Structure 1
Amino acid sequence: MDLNTVRAVVPAEAAGPWRPGDAWLAGGTFLFSEPQRHLRRLRDLAGAGWPPLTVTPHGLDIAATCTIAELAGHAASPRAAQRELIRQCCEAFLASFKIWNTATVGGNVCTALPAGPMISLGAALDGTCLVRDAGGGRRELPVAEFVTGVGTTALVPGEFLRSMTLPAAALRSRTAFRKGSLFPLGRSAALLIGRVDADDGSFLLTVTASTVRPVQVRFDAVPSAGALREAVEHGVPADLYVDDVHGLPAWRRQLTVLFAEQIRAELAAGSTR
């Protein structure tokens, strides 16, 4: 879609101070998908030259401008950690190769749609967001706290997401993935990921897509079925379930409880081998 109110597209590093009507541009698949009448200038991050993926002893750094295709390519490497989970989250887009080659990890996180699978991936692996601003300031916060609601994030005007880091300890963990939607090729109505820490055996369940923001429950070890159900029902109040054309709140709650138990049982069975 043409954004006919936009008067300039400028490199991010040469854009100067933040102005009313500015927006950050990465892949642009969402930005150009609907009218943006409030925008006057786009600050282009694509030319920043950030390496899309960097493996370090501390984990995996994913640049905000890394495309879904680049992340999926990393998951195809035999040496990549969490190959299966990364592949599952990439495929949760249910998008064409054209979208995969344009849409970015940072764009998916910052758009903050409940079904954003990069939010699911980052939150489930205890990822950290590096946030920068036009003046060079920086701060860090967990991915699970970055998204605050449907279409809302912790960013303030002038800030942008620079990268998402997945810690090495989480990348060594065992995980289980469940996703449900109304149709075989429909938007995710519930996407849950469970994780058992490789070092201390602690259990983390991350609920996304069915809720307006990520919700997590933690235990020191894989819990009993009753304990997990109670934690999910207490941790996800009724007003956090999404209500839209992709699924009613009551149905999303049923999926969430069902998937939580399936994940718990799968990871518990793995713990006894």
Structure 2
Amino acid sequence: MDLNTVLEMHDARERAPWRRGDAWLGGGTYLFSEPQPHLRRLIDLSRMGWAPVGHLPDAPDHPGGGLEIAATCTIAQLSRFARTFEVPATPLFEQCCRAFLASFKIWNMATVGGNLCNGLPAGPMISLTAALDGRCLLLGQDGSTRRVPVADFITGAGQKDLREGELLRSVTLPARALACRTAFRQVSLYGLGRSGALLVGALDPVDGSLAITVTAATVRPFRLWFPLPPTSAELRRAIDRTITEADWFDDIHGLPVWRRHMAYRLAEEIRRELEDRALTEGDM
């Protein structure tokens, strides 16, 4: 779609004062999908030269290292990287990439950062990074930086903790989360439909703790953490205690009551799968 109100394109490498009507341009799959009458200038990130995915060294901010995924990393680049990345959580990368159900054209243009900054409940990069305890690195116009957990960065449907002119630079995933066994569940109202509920479980092999992240069914991601795998009743109570009636998403892709029901069901499936796998492998 043509953006007829946009008058300028600016290279992000050439720093310029942020002004009203500016927007960061990554892949552009959302920006060019519908009218943006409030925009006057696009700040192009495509030539920043950021490595799509990189390994992090051991440091106080990320003990044991981890991964840094650039905001400009495309879905195709992340998928290709995951095919050569050998950690227990590796399958989750491809599962979340496939949750887009998008054409190869979108895969080669849509970015991880764009998916997060759209803040849509069904954003699978939100699901991936929130489930693996990801943290957003945000760059301010004044040169300041701050880190925000992905689960807190998304504050509602299409809403995020992003200040005026602030840029999402990357998302970091800690090594401990990458060492977790994961389980993935997704459901839609119809074949090839948008996710109505997408849940991920991550079982820590070190201390036996379990995190279950609820996305798509809710207006924002909810990461439920248990020091030990819960019983079925404990899991259900935790969902009811943490996710309020207003938190269940409501649109044409699923009513709140259906989304809540599927969250109960998928969370229980994840709990059983990870419990069975841990017993089989002798960790419990």
TM-score by length of 1: 0.98
Residue type of the partner of 1:169? R
The amino acid of 2:73's aligned partner reads: C
RMSD: 1.0
Partner residue, 2:53: 53
1:123 matched to which residue of 2? 130
| Cα shift readout 1:4-27 (whole Å, capped 9, x = no counterpart) | 100111011324111000000000
Identity, % of aligned positions: 56
Match of 1:62 among 58, 66, 69: 69
- Using the alignment, how far apart are the partners of 1:247 and 1:104 within structure 2? 26
Other-structure match for 1:25: 25
Match of 1:40 in 2: 40
Distance of 1:223 and 1:36 partners within structure 2: 46
Matched with 2:104 is 97
Aligned 1:79-98 pairs, distance under 5 A: 79=86, 82-98=89-105
Asked whether the equivalents of residues 87 and 179 of structure 2 are also in contact (C-alpha less than 8 Å), the reply is: no
2:102 partner SS: coil
Q: C-alpha separation between the residues in 2 aligned to 1:11 and 1:147?
A: 27
More displaced 10-residue stretch of structure 1: 56-65 or 79-88: 79-88
Asked if the contact 1:75–1:82 (Cα under 8 Å) also holds between the matched residues in 2, the reply is no
Aligned position for 1:169: 176
Instruction: Note the residue ranges of structure 1 that are not aligned, 5 or more in a row.
Output: none
Equivalent position to 1:75, from 82, 93, 99: 82
Mind listing any 5+ residue stretches in structure 2 that lack a counterpart?
58-64
Question: What is the letter of the counterpart of residue 105 of structure 2?
Answer: K
Aligned residue among 225, 233, 238 for 1:218: 225
Alignment partners' CA distance in 2, 1:159 and 1:78: 31
Cα deviation digits, residues 164-205 of structure 1 (max 9, x gap) = 011100000011110000111000000000111122111111
> 1:28-49, CA deviations, whole angstroms, 9 ceiling, x for partnerless residues?
0001100000000011111111
Shift of 1:80: 5.4
Matched, 1:110 2:113: no
Structure 1 counterpart SS, 2:23: strand
CA distance in 2, matches of 1:63, 1:105: 8
Q: How far apart are 1:81 and its partner, in Å?
A: 5.4
Q: Pick closer, same or farther for the CA change 1:78–1:52 going to 2, 3 Å.
A: closer
Q: What is the distance in 2 between the residues matched to 1:68 and 1:125?
A: 17
Q: Give CA deviations for 1:195-225 in whole Å, capped at 9, x if unaligned.
A: 1112211111100000000012111111111
Structure 1 residue 130 displacement after superposition: 0.2
Q: How much has 1:82 moved relative to structure 2?
A: 2.2
Q: 1:81 to 1:197 in 2, by over 3 A?
A: closer
1:79/1:267 CA distance change after superposition, 3 Å: closer
Whether 1:153 aligns to 2:160 is yes
The answer to whether the 8 Å contact 1:126/1:143 transfers is yes
Q: Are the structure 2 counterparts of residues 91 and 159 from structure 1 closer, same or farther at C-alpha, using a change threshold of 3 Å? A: same
Amino acid at match of 1:168: A
Q: What count of residue pairs does the alignment treat as equivalent?
A: 273
**Which residue identity lines up with residue 117 of structure 2 in the other structure?**
C
- Contact (CA 8 Å) 1:74, 1:80: kept in 2 or not? no
Secondary structure in 1 aligned to 2:42?
Answer: strand
1:101-124 C-alpha deviation (Å, 9 max, x unpaired)? 000000000000000000000100
* CA distance in structure 1 between the aligned counterparts of 2:7 and 2:173, rounded to whole angstroms: 37
Where 1:14 maps in the other structure, the secondary structure is coil
**How far did 1:226 drift?**
0.5
Provide TM-score, normalisation by structure 2.
0.94
Please tell me whether residue 195 in structure 1 is matched to residue 197 in structure 2: no
